[in-house]
Amino acid sequence: MRRPHVLSEAFRTILCIAAHPDDIEFTIAGSVARWTGEGRTVVFCLVTTGGAGTNEHTPSGDGLIPRRERELHDAARILGVKDVVLLGYQDGVVEPTLGLRRDLTRVIRRHRPDVVVCSDPTVRWYGNEYLNHPDHRAVASAALDAVFPSAETPGIFAELLAEGLPPHKVKEAFVSGAEPADTWIDIGDTLELKCAALKAHASQVGTGEWVEPLLREWAVRDGKRAGVRAAEAYRRMVLWRSE
Ligand SMILES: [Zn+2]
């Protein structure tokens, strides 16, 4: 039987990079709440403003960007996250450019995380009903390229050295939504916080009656793979070993 993974005691700072203001809450927020509860520092980096997130709850885009920013900060507070970095890219049209990779490299060098969490840039679709959003793929692709080789190589984006940002080696990358997964984080104690954090995005989920059943269904499915009640699944890349 597989067992859930426990992050190394030595890893104190975790950087989560995502495209849209609610992506983290849909996917990895149970792990985030667990890690902050263990006394670690978690930093969120959101690439877009979420300005294209109109739906039946928020039919008009007027005032949507500041509203989504407030919701994001509320969700972060629920999850114990104090640091939120917003890059301000336009929602819906993100590409994995060198400019985006440079911006993410800057965030990594500034916050110097042991672990970076992002989604899987190689997944074109999930099942038969969801085509993975192009912003998700673009951001994940640039994020992994920033983790390696850009963040640790002084000769890449040398202008960052002039900004006072020396190279930094990220020790592990956790890729969520990867198929197949190989690592599971137990979120039995934090699934409720994950649901509350997603519900904070009221412009996207409305009153969110469906939030708890849906997130629970996913957590139970992934938990079964690791022999626990509830889990979130990742592919874990070990980029550095202490011994
Ligand atoms: Zn998204």
Q: How close is the Cα of 243 to the center of ligand 1, in Å?
A: 38
Q: What letter represents residue 200's amino acid?
A: A
**How many whole angstroms separate alpha carbon 145 and alpha carbon 139?**
10
> Distance from the CA of 23 to the center of ligand 1, in angstroms?
5
- Give, in order, the Cα–Cα distances in Å from 124 to each of 102, 117, 133, 135, 180: 24, 19, 8, 11, 14
pLDDT tens track for 123-166: 999 999 999 999 999 999 999 999 999 999 999 999 999 999 99
Per-residue DSSP letters for 119-132?
E-TT--EETTTEEP
Quote the ligand 1 centre to 178 CA distance (angstroms).
15
Between the CA of 136 and the centroid of ligand 1 the distance, in Å, is: 6
Closest listed residue to residue 110, CA positions, set 152, 166, 64: 166
pLDDT of residue 243: 64
* Contacts for 91 with CB less than 8 Å, ≥ 6 apart: 20, 48, 49, 50, 51, 52, 53, 135
Q: Determine the distance separating the centroid of ligand 1 and the alpha carbon of 68, expressed in angstroms.
A: 13
From ligand 1's centre to the CA of 135, what distance in Å? 7
Q: Output phi, psi for 153, to 5 deg.
A: -110, 115
Query: pLDDT for 39-80, tens place per residue?
Result: 999 999 999 999 998 888 888 888 999 999 999 999 999 999
pLDDT digits (tens, 9 = 90+) for 182-209: 999 999 999 999 999 999 999 999 999 9
Q: Give the chain's length.
A: 243
Whole-angstrom distance, CA of residue 138 vs CA of residue 146: 12
Span 32-43, pLDDT tens digits:
999 999 999 999
Distances, alpha carbon 42 to alpha carbons 65, 126, 223, in Å: 23, 27, 23
For residue 197, give every residue at least 6 positions away whose Cβ sits within 8 Å of its Cβ, in sequence order, or none. 25, 29, 33, 75, 76, 78, 79
Q: What is the pLDDT of residues 70-121, one digit of tens each?
A: 999 999 999 999 999 999 999 999 999 999 999 999 999 999 999 999 999 9
